[in-house]
Copies of this chain bind each other. A is one copy, B any other.
Amino acid sequence: MNLKGFLFSTVEAAIKKAGRKDLALIFSEVPATATAVFTTSSVKAAPVLLSHDHIAGGSAQAIIVNSGNANACTGEQGLKDAQETAQLVARALGVDSTAVQVCSTGVIGVHMPMERIRNAITPLVDGLSSGTLDDVAQAIMTTDTFPKIEARSGQAGGVSYTVAGIAKGAGMIMPNMATMLSFIITDAAIEPAFLQQTFRRSVGSSFNAITVDGDMSTNDTCLIMANGTAGNSVIKEYSAEGDTFSSILSDILLSLAKQIVKDGEGATKFVEIRVSGAKDDTDAKRAAMAIANSSLVKTAFFGQDANWGRIFAAVGYSGAEVDQSLLSLSFDDVCMARNGIFAGGDAEARGTEILKQKEFTVSVDIGIGTGTSTVYTSDLTHEYVSINADYRS
């Protein structure tokens, strides 16, 4: 990975238990074009409120992120703590505090241990180096079992650039542990309005197309910084270079999103849900999300039970327009049901074999229109219940 103009640092600030890095800094040596997508929940963590204000101008230069404490449901004090963190980082880096994005993940409802944050800022900034994103990906993990990272290269006008991203999380993750966080950085120069538009579109088909437990967090943040240090001429919309960049960005976000689902709490299956033939794309997404979030469907995946009836039932209550006599369903290439009824033959036995795989696709054709949607999900397992019931004991 040859990513120019970015420096990284991680330290152990003792926000989490000892022996774990829990505070990380990403710094762009020059101001970067930046945009972000935040949780749409009405209950937003303090750092989300702060970062939302800071990024409104379309630029950023640093991201400070901690794990172990979400600084959510912490009221006025939480907001002051997030502001102070941004100010401390800004002062140490010699930038304006609005150039600093603050992100947190961890326990909800507990005030940030600010003394530990204050003590950690100097070693954190002193430790900045042109290392790799890997250490940062490690430091932002909570219940993640592996760091999530992806990088690609592109060219614009003969100049090479790199796009790299990291992510953490799987839905709400832990008792009082919240959050999906993802940070994308690139040394490419991108026209700001185009960056915002293509980033939002890519988030829609990646991070907004995954679900582990249907729970949205108070802290979800997906953020991109493009600092232009590769020296390319600015990438714009409606150009071959723009298309290339969009494609690279989509690939990275989708890869990170899939990694999150694969690392979903207690997950033993990775399932792609493809809905086609819906009245429109919105209806298709309704149906796909109803399937992906159904506890009954997800426990059937865990039980390797080729239970197409539950999937039709979920489509039925999804709110999507449906004529049940036109529904069809396949597991991978095995048609389980068509025209709303069982396909017959050896479908049951063959479908069950598909569900024994670690990864498979469920395709539902609603049969009335051209709307499509693809979402990714995991199964619902004993381990999920254990992780989420037994955390604080």
Q: Which A residues contact B (CB, under 8 angstroms)?
A: 39-44, 70, 72-75, 77-78, 107-110, 171-172, 175-176, 178, 213-218, 293-296, 299-300, 302-303, 305, 307-310, 312-317, 320-325, 327, 337, 339-342, 380-382, 384-386, 388-393
Contact = CB atoms under 8 A, between A and B. Distances in A.
Given A215-B296, A296-B172, A337 B43 contact: no
Given A109-B337, A380-B295, A313 B217 contact: yes
Given A73-B337, A108-B310, A384 B175 contact: no
Contact of A42 (B41, B293, B302, B322): B322
Contact of A172 (B43, B109, B310, B390): B310
Contact of A175 (B43, B175, B310, B380): B310
B391 A313 contact: no
B385 A307 contact: no
A342 B309 contact: no
Contacts of A312: 43, 73, 108-109, 218
Contacts of A321: 42
Contact of A325 (B75, B107, B110): B75
A353 B321 CA distance: 46
Contacts of A176: 307, 309-310
A253 to B, nearest CB: 21
The copy count of this chain in the complex is: 2
Contact of A391 (B74, B305, B325, B389): B305
Given A41-B313, A295-B380, 18 more contacts: A42-B322, A43-B313, A43-B316, A75-B341, A108-B313, A109-B309, A109-B342, A171-B296, A172-B310, A175-B310, A176-B309, A214-B293, A215-B296, A299-B389, A305-B389, A305-B392, A305-B393, A307-B392
Contacts of A294: 213-215
A349 B356 CA distance: 44
A339 B75 contact: yes
Which of A178, A309, A312, A324 is packed against the most chain B CB atoms within 10 Å? A309
B295 A388 contact: yes
A314 B176 CA distance: 12
B391 A380 contact: no
12 contacts: A42-B322, A75-B340, A176-B310, A213-B296, A215-B295, A216-B313, A216-B316, A217-B313, A218-B309, A218-B312, A303-B391, A305-B393
B385 A309 contact: no
A323 to B, nearest CB: 8
Nearest to A70: B309
Nearest to A212: B295
Contacts of A44: 316, 324
A382 B310 CA distance: 20
Contact of A388 (B107, B216, B303, B337): B303
A315 to B, nearest CB: 6
Contacts of A42: 315-317, 320-324
B393 A299 contact: no
Contacts of A389: 299-300, 302-303, 305, 381
A218 B222 CA distance: 38
Contacts of A109: 308-309, 312, 337, 341-342
A175 B385 contact: no
B73 A317 contact: no
